[in-house]
Amino acid sequence: MDYASTKLLHIGCVTLSISLFALRGTLQLAGIEWRRWRVLRVAPHIVDSVLLFSAIKLAMTLHISPLNSCWLAAKVLALIGYILLGRYALRAPAWAADGVSRVRALLPFVAALLTVGYIVGVAVTHSPSWGLAIRLGFVRG
């Protein structure tokens, strides 16, 4: 698979992965038990596996690694945060058992969405600060 095809596959998987996460989180907050639908339990794992493999292939093709590329290191660290926040956001709803408010359950979901937004911004700009440090004059370009 050539670079352009791998990049297109990667971007498609990113879009699908974020969409599936947003759908599951929205259903969860609405009190709809999405776990009973097999496709919503299985599809994210398949999509995220293809996403990971395409990311590794792109990095190998471009000869970059998180150890020598600040923007890629930022993406990897933010990805770990996104995974942890997403896992917390999609756990079995606490309010069903102990009356915790949905507003409190909403916080990790919104934080995960903001984190994945940061990841996309870093991917587009190839800059951990989205290029803002250069534009604001903190770093010379």
Percent of the chain with pLDDT over 70: 86
pTM above 0.75, yes or no: yes
The predicted pLDDT at position 131 comes to: 73
**pLDDT at res. 114:** 97
Average pLDDT value for residue range 72-98: 84
The CA distance from 72 to 59, in Å, is 9
Residue pLDDT, tens place only, 25-80: 999 888 888 999 999 999 999 999 999 999 999 999 999 999 999 999 999 999 99
Q: Which residues of 93-113 are buried (b: 16+ CB within 10 A; e: fewer)?
A: eeeeeeeeeeeebeebbebbb
What rounded mean pLDDT belongs to the chain? 88
Mean pLDDT of 107-124: 96
Distance CA 13, CA 77 (A): 19
